[in-house]
């Protein structure tokens, strides 16, 4: 995996929709002040809550913040995604996809909204099996060659598709995908049960094996389960209702008490201990402050063993 220390990634999905720009600015300022580096967005965020029915709000808020904070671009890294932005408002079935034309057009529009000439990381947001993988790989490689993206990655892709894409990139002499983004957290759903959230793909042992053998960086989303670890009004989805969850949450309570930290901070520390960078969405400054403080939480081998036994 990537040898740099694991870090908290700020997820900005709700910026400009559920999170108003002024509040988003405060969260971004707090994140940078606390030593945060990576911002994660997408060109489709968040079309499902935006009255316009298309994405772009999150990128526009980040772009406005960058313009209002001269010099801050030198201290943050920006990751965005292409694949899911609807071409027809309110029609997710019209998503742009991953053809070469769609990838180039999507990135050009993202750069305009962000007000930058380059993104530090460009994601393929999900698979598009209607397009030859060679075409998608070539488009991503071309963007790196032009300096539009520094690195590229695959979100919500099967491990075998990632490895196939990397092989194609090597054959073509272009930049391969070196980042993976998948859903992962301390609690796990019942085996073989589908996730209710459309487009989500759970991190598997095979994904981690690929990452560790190939030196790929891994980011996790839905890391804090939408607040379910700390809020009684945000119960876990029904697929997580099994004895393993009960055992894990009991250990989580004990470890959090022993270390005098929050449940969320233990979960984030557990992920980072595995070499995973957790993406954390925030709607208030105190939430990102809590998340950044998880970098100082040190789990002992004994804590990790208890979690492993409970799962």
Specify burial of residue 136 (Cβ count, 10 A radius: 0-12, 13-18, 19+).
buried
Q: 256 lies in a domain?
A: no
Task: Answer whether residue 117 is part of any domain.
Answer: yes
Distance between CA atoms of residues 36 and 29, nearest Å? 10
Q: Does 305 fall in a domain?
A: no
CATH number of the domain to which 181 belongs: 3.20.20.100
Question: pLDDT (tens digit, 9 = 90+) per residue, 88-127?
Answer: 999 999 999 999 999 999 999 999 999 999 999 999 999 9
User: Does residue 48 belong to any structural domain of this protein?
Assistant: yes
Residue 71 belongs to a domain? yes
- Assess if residue 4 is contained within a domain: no
pLDDT at site 2: 38
Residue 255 lies in a domain: no
Domain assignment of residue 87, yes or no: yes
pLDDT band per the 50, 70, 90 thresholds, residue 194: confident
Domain span holding position 197 = 9-235+264-297
Number of separate domains in the chain:
1
Residue 196's pLDDT band (cuts 50, 70, 90): confident
pTM for the predicted model, two decimal places = 0.95
Task: Check residue 1 and give its pLDDT.
Answer: 38
């Amino acid at each position: 995996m990537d040898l740099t220390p694991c870090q908290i990634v700020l997820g900005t999905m709700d910026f400009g929709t559920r999170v108003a720009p002024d509040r988003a600015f405060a969260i971004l300022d707090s994140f940078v002040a606390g030593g945060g580096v990576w911002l994660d967005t997408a060109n489709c965020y968040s079309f499902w809550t935006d009255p316009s029915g298309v994405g772009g709000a999150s990128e526009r808020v980040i772009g406005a913040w960058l313009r209002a904070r001269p010099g801050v671009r030198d201290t943050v890294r920006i990751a965005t995604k292409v694949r899911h932005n609807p071409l027809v408002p309110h029609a997710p079935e019209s998503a742009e996809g991953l053809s070469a034309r769609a990838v180039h057009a999507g990135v050009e529009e993202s750069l305009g909204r962000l007000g930058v000439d380059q993104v530090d990381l460009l994601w393929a947001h999900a698979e598009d099996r209607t397009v030859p993988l060679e075409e998608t790989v070539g488009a991503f490689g071309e963007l790196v060659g032009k300096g539009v993206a520094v690195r590229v990655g695959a979100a919500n892709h099967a491990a075998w598709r990632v490895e196939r894409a990397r092989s194609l990139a090597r054959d073509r002499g272009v930049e391969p995908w070196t980042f993976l983004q998948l859903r992962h957290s301390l609690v796990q759903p019942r085996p073989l049960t589908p996730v209710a959230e459309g487009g989500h793909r759970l991190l598997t042992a095979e994904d981690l094996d690929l990452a560790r053998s190939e030196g790929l960086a891994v980011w996790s989303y839905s890391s804090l389960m939408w607040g379910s670890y700390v809020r009684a009004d945000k119960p876990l989805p029904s697929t997580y209702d099994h004895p393993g969850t009960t055992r894990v949450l009991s250990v989580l309570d004990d470890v959090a008490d022993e270390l005098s930290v929050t449940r969320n901070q233990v979960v984030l520390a557990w992920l980072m201990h595995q070499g995973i960078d957790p993406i954390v969405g925030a709607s208030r400054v105190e939430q990102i402050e809590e998340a950044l403080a998880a970098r100082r939480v040190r789990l002992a081998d004994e804590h990790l063993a208890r979690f492993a036994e409970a799962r």
